Amino acid sequence: MDQRSHWNTIAPVYRDEIFDVFASDRKGILKKYFRKYRNTRHTAFDFGCGIGKAFPYLAPSFKQVVAMDISDRCLSEARNLNYRNLSFRQADLTDETLKLPRVHFVFCCNVIMLPDPEKNLAMFRNIRRSLKKGGAAVIIVPSLESYLFSAWRLIDWYRQEGIAPDHIDRDELSGFLGNITDTLQGIVTINGVITKHYTAPELNVILPRAGLRISKLDKVEYNWDTEFSDPPSWMREPYPWDWLIECN
């Protein structure tokens, strides 16, 4: 898939089509991390900024914010938010020859999830290259454990209604229709888009390869209605989540 064309097509309908992590963060954990790293003398880097969902948190918290994305149309939408301390640049963030800003803080939300592991590793490395000494990054990525748990929850829900797993419509589990090696690598299909999901042990292997040290692996939790239409009232904890990686 041509990522630039893909995101340029999505840009005009981004708010309707793309899951809003900030609005769905049920415990407000992202705000906690923005408060932790807030420093109005420092520069932040929104790595894969999209249409600027993180700007209301980053712009007031840092002296300068550098916003980069592969999609010029997403950047055009982001510029409409009119924050004065932002600068913008269109770039392929998988390019390891890219000239990157040197910053104190990097935020990256559900960007490093391509089906190509080398391109994902390149993005982790680029985050490392952009950090000044003593700098930190907060990276959000999809959780494979959560995806599998959500599938189990769906099967259990059907079972409680008297429907055996073999009788569930295959479309309900369409994310697993790839080959077995894709599934084992966390490569599943979300709304027709092939998307990489990560396990916690995998992150503990991959990030050091990119030169990043994980200081904390946290969860951004969501309500069940982000996974299913009209989930039953008994479907509560544990909730689905993305991984939040705090690293330096």
Nearest to 123 by CA among 145, 148, 91: 91
The residues that bridge with 64 in the sheet, in sequence order, are 43
Residue 108 within a domain: yes
Domain that includes residue 82, residue range: 3-142+197-247
- The domain spanning residue 110 has which CATH number? 3.40.50.150
Question: What is the Cα–Cα distance from 29 to 87, expressed in whole angstroms?
Answer: 26
Residue 82 within a domain: yes
Residue 161 within a domain: no
Interval 86-108 mean pLDDT: 97
Residue 222 within a domain: yes
**pLDDT of amino acid 3:** 87
Residue 167 within a domain: no
Cβ neighbours around 60 below 10 Å, total: 13
pLDDT grade for 236, boundaries at 50, 70 and 90: very high
**pLDDT of amino acid 59:** 97
Question: What is the Cα–Cα distance from 11 to 68, expressed in whole angstroms?
Answer: 14
**pLDDT one-digit tens code per residue, 137-184:** 999 999 999 999 999 999 999 999 999 998 988 888 887 777 899 989
Residue 102 within a domain: yes
**pLDDT one-digit tens code per residue, 3-27:** 888 888 888 888 888 999 999 999 9
> Helix axis angle, 3-10 relative to 72-79, nearest 10°?
40
Residue 186 within a domain: no
Number of domains in the chain: 1
Global pTM reads 0.95
Residue 47 within a domain: yes
pLDDT grade for 231, boundaries at 50, 70 and 90: very high
Task: Please give the single-letter amino acid code of residue 133.
Answer: K
